[in-house]
Amino acid sequence: MTTDRLLTPLAAALPASVPFVGPETLERVRGAPFTARLGANESVFGPSPAAVDAMRAAAAEAWKYGDSTSHELRTDLAAHHGVTPEHIVVGEGIDGLLGTLVRLTVAEGTPVVTSAGAYPTFNYHVTGFGGALHTVPYTADHEDPERLVAKAREVGARLVYISNPDNPMGSWHGPATLARMIDALPADALLVLDEAYADFLPEADRLPERADDPRVIRMRTFSKAHGLAGARIGYALGAPGLIAAFERVRNHFGVTRMSQAGARAALADADWLAGVVARVAAARARLAEIAAAEGLTALPSATNFVAIDCGGDGALARRVLEELAARGVFVRMPGVAPLDRCIRVGCGTDADLDAVAAALGPALAAARSA
């Protein structure tokens, strides 16, 4: 029996692809580690030492499954956000939560709206469950709330996805714009608001809590500012009825004891978080200087990365990316024009940024002469 005969017709029709090729795979291909690992939007500044201590202590009880309800973490998060634990579900990072949400809401042919070039893992889940993806273009390097809502009305979308701040461009919308978007949604649509980078936004730029609003679900993560990407832990904030629905299909033992302990300690260490946010802001400023020194433009960013306009098209940016990789600097780039004129460079340590500064000029020259 062939493998395809074992698969459902939907699974058999899917492309054999993954949203991202990991840096470890790229290192094996090139036969050497990267000098600067700045392409995966991780926090090179690492987690709070308190989080490391908490995970180390919890590791001694790794023989136990993690609390399937993440009760203590949900209680802490509820106090942090001024909501109840019933407004929160914890999962294996935003990626895992997006997969569960799509499983709950999307059947074959269900229309879903997103931006062309936005976070591809969301599309991966929608396609995997047979949903019909409809996209709208960015406007001035921002996801366009008005276009997203208009497309949702046109196709009768079940889900509308937007990230704020945005990946891959680093742009953002203020709370008034997002509130208008929510109010303009079609009656049967749910806004999936991916706030992976919200910790880097000034408080005044964040959307106030809308815990009981059934029109929006907000995704948060410990992978970015809290430095726990490898622990795979995130959470969603939403109306209790929607959050309760996750219990029907979620992986109840998917979040480890170590991850829960690390997240609780990270959440409690406000000083460490503030320090990381400050170091990221300084790194963004340095990356803008590095880009300007080569005659390039760094786009404004409210994330832990900077999109640098290479001054050409996607082919040029791809060559710059490849030339940087050959010089030991791992970065990524958007996948859709005109966003793909940019490379996306993570905020790193002084040593990381020194490597970028040393490699960017030669990489740009080599790319232009290719």
- Whichever domain contains 189, its CATH number is 3.40.640.10
Domain count of the chain? 2
Residue count of the chain: 370
User: Looking at the domain assignment, is residue 2 inside a domain?
Assistant: no
Residues 206 and 348 in one domain: no
Distances from the Cα of 304 to the Cα of 222, 283, 334, 362, angstroms:
13, 8, 16, 24
Quick one: 65 exposed, middle or buried, by C-beta within 10 A (0-12, 13-18, 19+)? exposed
Question: Do 71 and 110 lie in a common domain?
Answer: yes
Report helix, strand or coil for 126. helix
Q: Which residue has the tokens 């730029």?
A: 205
What domain range includes position 141? Answer: 49-268
Q: Which residue has tokens 């790794």? A: 62
Please tell me whether residues 151 and 249 are part of one structural domain: yes
Strand duo 36-37 + 88-91: pairing: unpaired
Give the residue from 147, 223, 220, 158 showing the smallest Cα distance to 184: 147
- Whether 13 is covered by a domain: the verdict is no
195 with 56, same domain? Answer: yes
Residue 370's pLDDT is: 86
Question: Per the domain annotation, does 283 fall within a domain?
Answer: yes
pLDDT number for residue 174: 97
Longest dimension (CA), the chain: 60
Q: What are phi and psi of 314, to 5 degrees?
A: -65, -30
**Last-in-domain residue among 268, 297, 316:** 268
Are 221 and 334 members of one domain? no
Q: What pLDDT sits at residue 326?
A: 97
Domain boundary among 237, 268, 299: 268
H/E element, 367:
helix 350-369
Q: Which of 251, 268, 285 is the last residue of a domain?
A: 268
Residues 84, 35, single domain; the answer is no
Per-residue confidence (pLDDT) for residue 261, from 0 to 100: 98
For residues 333 and 301, the answer to whether their CB atoms sit within 8 Å is no
Specify the 3-state DSSP secondary structure of 310: coil
Task: Kindly give the parts of the chain with pLDDT less than 70.
Answer: 1
Judgement on whether residues 239 and 172 belong to the same structural domain of the protein: yes
Structure tokens at 160: 């509308």
Residues 254 and 336 in one domain: no
Please give the backbone phi and psi of residue 160, each rounded to the nearest 5 degrees, phi first: -130, 120
Instruction: Tell me the three state secondary structure of residue 215.
Output: coil
239 and 279 share one domain = no
pLDDT of residue 1: 60
**Do 179 and 69 lie in a common domain?**
yes
- The amino acid at residue 217 is I
Establish if 293 belongs to a structural domain. Answer: yes
